[in-house]
Amino acid sequence: LIESIQLRFALAASDEKMQKLVNLLLVPLLDKLDIASATVRTKIIGLLGQINKKLKGRPQIVLPFGALIKSTFEKEPSGFSQSFRLMYITMAVSNADTQSLVEAIPRLLEGIRGRSKAQQAPLATALLTAVMKCGELDDTQIKGLGFDSSPHSAETLLACAKDLFLVNPVQQTQDPGAIPIAAGLSADSQALVTNNGKASWVSDKDELQTLKLNMARIVGSGQAFPVEASDQLHQRRFMALLCASVDPYFQKVADYGKDSLKRMRPVDYESRLFVDMANTMFLGTASAKDNAELPRSPVSPAIRLKLLGYLSRS
């Protein structure tokens, strides 16, 4: 059977035939990986390598983005096929249509939770790529993200957004492994939102501005986070927008952050969560003993100055 499929891919000379085979067989092949014998598994991996070669340099071939996400999150994270599924998700997001990107955002947020750092990285890359490429969402699309019914996904988005707003652009020639850790981030958190320094938006200022601005529009939206949202989400949202509001590189992002803060309902500056978050951002975390994440440095002086003003009211 595998040999027959291999022959079909080898004979697929046109883009149309290749597209049809990818849509029909890619996900079933990945499903087969988890239950196949060692011999068959080796053949499937070889076939996937053949498919990858045929896909290279052919962006007109659209991978089944929605089907890949669905199959990935229905399987055990420890399954043998997971690394292949995650690889294809990051490939598929690049040329998925807008509606597929919008539909994928809440599913990617839900899928990131509870996974290892190694698996979170490609999912976070796919999530941020989707946010960057889907453009400015309308109110219906933003409401459809479903944060009101999935507070855990909302928290994941806000944590990711806050870290993203702290990322600085770097020179295109800079070695990804030598990029300085931005103020307020740890090595782990920066790696997550930059794909270990390899994401296209790290060295492309236009892409980074687009990504930050699109993310700010979601975080600042009253459709995504209505007035009746929980105090916890409200305060996490406030901190993310605060980081956006003092962006030193992109005035549009800073302006949008400031405007969104003005439109938010008042924050309880005396709540335990707010004070703890403000202190952690102001002082950083000196040790990773009580946290799986590496230590974070304090945020930039501009954000610390803002935080001082809020903490003085608590």
Kindly report the pTM of this predicted structure: 0.90
Q: Which of 259, 210, 211, 218 is nearest to 237 (CA)?
A: 218
- What does each of the 314 residues of the chain score in pLDDT, given as a tens digit? 788 999 999 988 899 999 999 999 999 999 999 888 999 999 999 999 999 999 987 889 999 999 999 999 888 887 788 999 999 999 999 889 999 999 999 999 999 988 888 899 999 999 999 999 998 888 889 988 988 888 999 999 999 999 999 999 986 666 766 789 999 999 999 999 999 999 999 989 999 999 999 999 999 999 999 888 899 999 999 999 999 999 999 999 999 999 999 999 999 999 999 999 999 999 998 765 445 567 999 999 999 999 998 888 76
Q: From residue 212, give the alpha-carbon distance in Å to each of 125, 136, 169.
A: 14, 11, 11
One-letter identity of residue 101: L
The H-or-E segment that residue 21 falls in is helix 15-33
Contact status, residue 170 vs residue 179, Cβ threshold 8 Å:
yes
What is the pLDDT at residue 247? 97
Distance CA 124, CA 55 (A): 23
| Residue spans of beta strands (DSSP E) within the chain | none
What is the pLDDT at residue 79? 75
Give the three-class secondary structure for 195.
Answer: coil
The H-or-E segment that residue 23 falls in is helix 15-33
